Amino acid sequence: MTPVDLDWWNRRLQRHAIPARIVGRDADGAPTDHGVGYLRRADLTADLHTDAVTGPGSPELGVLYRAAAWLSGHPHRDRRRTFFDVRTAVPPGHEFDVVTTALAACRHTPWQAIPDAAPRRRWSGWPHTPGAGPTLLSLYCWATHHTDTAAHGVVRPQLLDQHAVASLIHLGWTEDPVAARFTWARYTRYCHLLHTWAAQAGVRAELIEMWLSTRWRERTAQHHHARTGRP
């Protein structure tokens, strides 16, 4: 469960006239859209599961902003809380066309074919989603393709976490060490690697990613303690 300042997010969504609202759960588990609420990772798939909390507005933008709130609020994810604007400078009424079209392509296309399905893409192969970088978009893809978990052996999109990447590099993976610079091709190799290790260990790929991220945090904490004498 990740604590999220719902007022902080929803005020900014309203101020920018973005058709989304983040709904979390209070301490008793009841849905709430104000104060401090809690998001589970499963809540990111709100439009795919009827028991998950959701909010009004665009389904695609709802998933994207819930993912951003979850990432920034999670104590074990290295993401600053910053508000990103997905609008583009176009005639009124079409400010969200670019991002919602790209997100819809990500959601409804077999994930490895997303670069070909997206109407616009960056030089790196990632769909053009104004304001949303590779890490956030990878979590969006994870959320919208989460139902693929029923298919045994299927490689699914996974969260592109900087700590997990750093851990892989430390273990000998010879790729770009900066997650924000990942091309789509490199990201697919990352996902394949996580699934390969998961199959060997008999666990879900999400657990491999979380283990890599935790391993890096523990390693850097040990170095910090050895250098400063402080935890």
- Which pLDDT value is given to residue 52? 47
Q: Which residue has the higher pLDDT, 68 or 218?
A: 68
Closest to 134 measured CA to CA, from 178, 173, 89: 178
pLDDT (mean) for 13-28: 94
pLDDT (mean) for 189-217: 95
Q: Residue 46 above 80 pLDDT?
A: no
Q: Which residue has the higher pLDDT, 172 or 53?
A: 172
Buried-exposed string 76-115: b where 16+ CB fall within 10 A, e elsewhere? ebeeeeebeebbeeeeeeebbebbbbbbbbbbebebeebb
Laid out side by side, the sheet with 36-39 consists of: 2-5, 36-39, 24-25, 31-32
Quick one: pLDDT band at residue 222, thresholds 50, 70, 90?
low
Q: Which residue has the tokens 């700590």?
A: 163
Which residues have a Cβ under 8 Å from the Cβ of 72 and sit 6 or more positions away?
4, 79, 80, 81, 82
